[in-house]
Amino acid sequence: MGSAKNKLSWSRFLGILHALMHRVNLGIVGCGTVGGGVYQAILRNGGLMASRLGVGVRVVKVAVQNRSKARAVKIPPALLTDDWRSLVDDPAVNLVGEFIGGTTTARSVLLAAFARGKSVVTANKALLSAHGEELFAAAEANGANLYYEASVAGGIPIIKVLREGLIGNQITRLYGIVNGTCNYILSRMKLEGADFAHVLAEAQALGYAEAEPSLDIDGHDAAHKTGILASLAHGFWVNPRDIYVEGIRAITQQDIRFASQMGYAIKLLGIVKKSGPVGRRGTPPVQVSVYPALVPQTHVLGSVNGVFNAVLVRGDIVGDTLYYGRGAGQDATASAVLSDLADAALDLKSGVKSRVPPFVPHERDGAVSPIGAVVSRYYVRLSVIDKPGTLAAITAILARARIGISSVMQPEAHEGESVPLVLMIHDATNANMARALAKIGQIGAVKCAPVMLRVENFD
């Protein structure tokens, strides 16, 4: 009788043998960081997946721009083509993986695959943000499916959580730290007292930030992901133009320090929550926003540092749940893609391509709340001349706007003529705060434009 180890190996062998009888042929379009990582991951753990699923995934063709280009990932020349259309048209390919990025050629790849009844796995959040509604409709019309777990938060299975794990819950709140570059920069600024420009330069040198970093630091990448999550959570497709977006470019070391003294960390948050008055048909609008916010250091999201991501989801039945992990990188993305490949393989094996539909619009009256109507608490930093009557003038403007102050902090140590004045503000609409701060900025003793950050206490 063999050892337990041999028995396990024999069982694994039988599982793989069975899987080979049920095999999915994958065509990969794009073999850069993501596509190459997926190819390597299949080589590494494809047998493990096959033994667990009873169906195998085999790469039969890889489309690249230049077949002779040297690559970190060694791919047999017989698998390579420089014509993605031939890959999509190949009858031997019954599942397509799109990993080229962008929103032009990638869109053409998906639509061509759907037209042939072939399902697609993608990690392309920009494409889904811009054309998701069209692509989901095309997949449904052609009896295909679209799998996109890797498009949001890397290795965190947040898409599966919203589509399957919490399907019996109404999602009342969702907060996400979904951009690792911004979280790395803000974490370094807090932990080391470094300035934004210095940390950004180091992040670029380490490969955490692109040479042209605006997609990350201006909040657009986080907005792509937040819009996808909002659409899934609330059952209507969120137009990216309706998402309010602020980045972290204006965050200073001074704000990091003052926030810390009051027990807060500053994080770039993607926020999705029902907000404002109920609409004509009884459906409250949904806030969908991305901006830097003060988060209590004692809250779990306040302790998420470095390049890690985290998403907090509150359901009306389950309460708060938290998902944490690496949000980017070759391996984290490949892990998410493998999850989608497993779902696609099982769907193809069972002959039901849309066992779990990619997106089902079920809220016809859904709408995104304009940022002006959103109610929040606020951190306000002013640079003022320290003379009698200045604080009284500021509080008078806020009082006339019916905006309450919860606390005032004026640090003793300062340089130059002006001094910082920090106000913590009670709940108010963004529109009221903007009007009040515009008036405060006109006071002669206020030397710079007011700095305003929102405060999230996760009530």
List the domain boundaries for the chain. Answer: 4-147, 159-327, 374-455
What pLDDT shows up at residue 355? 79
Whole-number pLDDT of residue 12: 60
**pLDDT at 13 exceeding the cut of 90:** no
User: Does CATH number 3.30.390.10 belong to domain 4-147?
Assistant: no
Report CA 384 to chain centroid distance, whole Å. Answer: 38
> Tokens representing 42?
């299949």
Question: What is the pLDDT, as a whole number, of residue 195?
Answer: 94
Residue 378 burial (10 A CB sphere; 0-12, 13-18, 19+) = buried
Whether 97 has a pLDDT exceeding 80, the answer reads: yes
Residue type (1 letter), 204 = Q
Cβ contact 233:270 at 8 Å = no
- Tell me how far apart the alpha carbons of residues 409 and 390 are, in angstroms, rounded to a whole number: 14
DSSP for residue 372: G
What backbone torsions phi and psi does residue 310 show, to the nearest 5 degrees? -155, 145
What global pTM score does this model have? 0.91
Averaged confidence pLDDT in the chain: 91
Query: What average pLDDT does the segment 26-45 reach?
Result: 95
CB 263 within 8 A of CB 297: yes
What is residue 8's predicted lDDT score, i.e. its pLDDT?
Answer: 55
Mean pLDDT of 444-455: 95
List the alpha helices (DSSP H) in 250-362.
253-261, 330-350
Q: Residues with catalytic annotation?
A: 225
For residue 99 the two structure tokens come to: 């990993």
Q: Average pLDDT, stretch 64-76? A: 89
| Token pair listed for 88 | 């999509």
Say what the pLDDT of residue 215 is.
95
pLDDT of residue 244: 98
Helices (H), 59-165: 84-89, 105-115, 125-141, 158-160
Question: Cα–chain-centroid distance for residue 354?
Answer: 24
Q: How far, rounded to the nearest angstrom, does the alpha carbon of residue 3 sit from its chain's CA centroid?
A: 46
User: Residue 3 above 60 pLDDT?
Assistant: no
Share of the chain above pLDDT 70, in %: 93
| pLDDT value at residue 281 | 54
Average pLDDT on 151-170 reads 94
CATH (residue range 159-327): 3.30.360.10
Say if residue 183's pLDDT is above 90. Answer: yes
- At 131, the amino acid letter reads H
Segment 130-152 mean pLDDT: 95
* pLDDT tens by residue, 360-383: 888 878 899 999 999 999 999 999
- Mean pLDDT to the nearest integer, 327-340: 93
**Do 159-327 and 374-455 share a fold?**
no
Query: What is the three-class DSSP state of 259?
Result: helix
pLDDT at position 10 is 58
The band of 72, judged by pLDDT with boundaries at 50, 70 and 90, is confident
pLDDT at 254 (0 to 100): 94
Judge contact between 224 and 128, C-beta under 8 A: yes
pLDDT class for 148, splitting at 50, 70, 90? very high
pLDDT(448) > 80: yes
* 194-249 pLDDT, tens digit each: 999 999 999 999 888 888 999 999 999 999 999 999 999 999 999 999 999 999 99
* Predicted local confidence at residue 1, as pLDDT: 45
d(CA 375, CA 456): 11
DSSP secondary-structure letter at 430? H
- Say how far apart CA 232 and CA 126 lie, in whole Å: 16
What the block records as the tokens of 76 is 């047999």
Q: The domain at 374-455 falls in which architecture?
A: 2-Layer Sandwich (3.30)
Higher-pLDDT residue of 43 and 415 is: 43
